[in-house]
Amino acid sequence: MIYPKRRKRSHNDNMLFSQGALNFLGGLPTATLWTLSRSPVLEWAHVISMISGIGVIIFVVTRRKVLSNLSASLIFAVNLIPAYWLVWTSNAAHSTQGRFWIPFQAHQLACLTVAILAPPNRKIGALTILLFPALAILQYETFSPEQLAWLPARAVVAPILFGGFALILYFFSLRGIGIAELAAKTEAEVQMMEKVTHAILAIKDLANSPIQALSLDAETLRRKHSEDAPVAARIEKSVNQLRELNRILDEHLRGSASASIEASFDPHEKLLR
């Protein structure tokens, strides 16, 4: 069994853990916002954001199985629901204060945050980013003329631009993650092949002594017991096949790209490793 503290964290683990931490930290200013907005809906949005953040962190820390990219992306998207609710209720609370304010700043920051966290499923990731500017446009259309009077002109342009930039950043992030994972996989394969090479060389060297003994026995059998000459011939044929196999393995393995293979080594030590 592989325990969380002993296994190397994957990108999916880091992504969900970071999202959980952000959801929890996003709910910490609850007390201040209660005083400023006096909005019960906003209060509950912060509380649920904190609860969802703690839940995701506990899930990542206690989980045993490896998450697929689709499962991790779906969990990420579900855990964004409190964030969507939070940015909506936050703007709704500010719009009722009767003073000038800059709307949809949280939408812009959220777009960039999702792009940096980079959920691995492209469709889900792009959708979670685009939902923030879409919610900004939808909420802007619900504001009354009195509320719009306190907003700057073209208030929805910024979240749309940030959403487009976040998509570009998101796909670049996925590309970088893919390159890093390919490099790690290649390095692991090289290390595995090096270990296999050492093992095969050790087995080949250990087999040399029995091959020599069989050759001597076949020669002795042929000379002293002529009636067993067919048996000796079969033994000699098998020994020759083993020698040819050893020669092929020796050419392939000692001529491999692994420079760390010694010209001579203790086969017993290699196999014990």
Residues 6+ apart with CB under 8 A from 192: none
Please name the residue ranges forming H helices in the chain: 11-27, 30-37, 40-62, 69-79, 81-95, 105-117, 122-142, 145-148, 157-224, 229-254, 267-272
Is residue 36 pLDDT above 80, yes or no? Answer: no
Mean pLDDT of 240-247: 72
pLDDT value, residue 6: 37
Between these two residues, 256 and 117, which has the higher pLDDT value? 117
The helix-helix angle for 105-117 and 157-224 (nearest 10°) equals 10
**For 4-8, 32-36, 113-117, 210-214, which range has the lowest pLDDT when averaged over its residues?**
4-8
Is residue 1 pLDDT above 50, yes or no? Answer: no
Amino acid of residue 118: A
- CA within 13 Å, CB half, 11: 20
Closest CA to 138 of 120, 123, 156: 156
Alpha-carbon distance of 50 to 223, in angstroms, equals 88
pTM across the whole model:
0.68
pLDDT value, residue 229: 67
**For 7-16, 26-35, 171-180, which range has the lowest pLDDT when averaged over its residues?**
26-35
Write out pLDDT tens, residues 110-168: 999 999 999 999 999 999 999 999 999 999 999 988 888 888 888 899 999 999 999 99
